[in-house]
Amino acid sequence: MATRRILRIDNDDDKKILKAHCRPVRLPDRTLKQLVADMFETMHAANGVGLAAPQIGLPIQLCIIEIPAEVEEREDGSEVEVAPAEQYVLFNPKIVKMGGEELLRDEGCLSLPGWYGQVPRSAWVTVEFEDINGKERRLRKAGGLLGWAIQHEVDHLNGVLFTERIRDLSTLRDITNERALDNQPA
């Protein structure tokens, strides 16, 4: 496995690639297993939830998502995993339905680390895609973090950046210094 360089929105050369529409992937293709592994390694190294192929310079319709494990704290302070992490690999995804009320929440992107802004998204989506073997799949009414991530990553495949979804640009802010202050000893 290898960690790949993540292209940045604030780099003009990178942005040209990030703004391009991606081409469909012809499946099955055994060589893609290594790419998917590299993408998960790259995403984990950057502490992300999702990553789209154009973010590592590949203009193909592929994105990955990992919803973190759900952990509960016990009375004694120990933690127990109540739901495992869930990984999704979506080739040629298409959002076929969007529903529920529009939600507004802070959203960031690995292509603009540390920056967050208020982005409106649908409460849930239904997405059709192919798995790595070329089998057609469907996720119905994906909501919460999964639904949000699907919308963000599919936008990448269509050359749409999260900053373009922000209606009030005054909400876009760099929280890097806020995080540094939060980690200072009291």
CA 78 to chain CA centroid, Å, is: 30
For residue 150, give both structure tokens: 């699907």
Active site (annotated) includes residue 41: no
Strand runs (DSSP E) across the chain, as ranges? 50-52, 62-67, 70-73, 79-83, 86-108, 115-130, 136-143, 173-174
Taking the C-alpha atoms of residue 44 and residue 167, their distance in angstroms, rounded to an integer, is 29
For residue 141, give both structure tokens: 């009414």
Find the catalytic residue in 75, 107, 153, 164: 153
Catalytic machinery residues? 153
